[in-house]
A and B are shown apart, each in its own frame.
Chain A
Amino acid sequence: EADIYQTPRYLVIGTGKKITLECSQTMGHDKMYWYQQDPGMELHLIHYSYGVNSTEKGDLSSESTVSRIRTEHFPLTLESARPSHTSQYLCASSEFLSGAPKAFFGQGTRLTVV
């Protein structure tokens, strides 16, 4: 059902490396989100966007940054990865206040920083 894709699915990377997690959706949704989820824990919103050139910080402080140059693309970047960044990162999208906006999620990227 969902046309939202995240790459890579799994990533193991060394401390200090710069990484970009990709998220793309083909549904033309205005709003996109990044959530962080530790194993067995709740989802925390770290970034969201209302549309092109819009980026906002979420409820959980994060050292990552995001950009929204195209409607369909919402990449998340960590300039210098640390072991504390090890987590699962989930991307989502929804229409913005259209009818009953339904959120669609990608399959997630499981990041391990060693």
Chain B
Amino acid sequence: KQEVTQIPAALSVPEGENLVLNCSFTDSAIYNLQWFRQDPGKGLTSLLLIQSSQREQTSGRLNASLDKSSGRSTLYIAASQPGDSATYLCAARSQTGANNLFFGTGTRLTVIP
């Protein structure tokens, strides 16, 4: 069974800093990897999706990379803002079985003004 791990579990940074969130997965047979943002008590908002054949995706200040062979993905946030404070989740879609999403436990980010 796919296991997804996110490090660190929590991160606090001053406003304006660049930061990297890490995601690792045990089974490299993935269809794609998706990064989500979750605000407290809310649903998930999709940030970036990387297909298994891709190395990275960019959207604004966000850049996600994927190294399928090593089972790793990173989410880079440039020039962080207080509004970026949220929990960030990565999810790997398995190529096997029911092709379901497997989630990490998330990184809770706090950007201090």
Contact = CB atoms under 8 A, between A and B. Distances in A.
A3 interface: no
A49 to B, nearest CB: 10
A60 to B, nearest CB: 12
Main secondary structure of the interface of A (DSSP, over half): loop
B39 to A, nearest CB: 10
A1 B99 contact: no
A48 interface: yes
A110 B43 CA distance: 10
A43 to B, nearest CB: 5
Interface of B: 1, 31-32, 34, 36, 41-46, 49, 51, 89, 91, 93, 98-101, 103-106
Interface of A: 1-2, 6, 33, 35, 41-43, 45, 48, 50, 56, 58-59, 88, 90, 92, 96-97, 100-108, 110
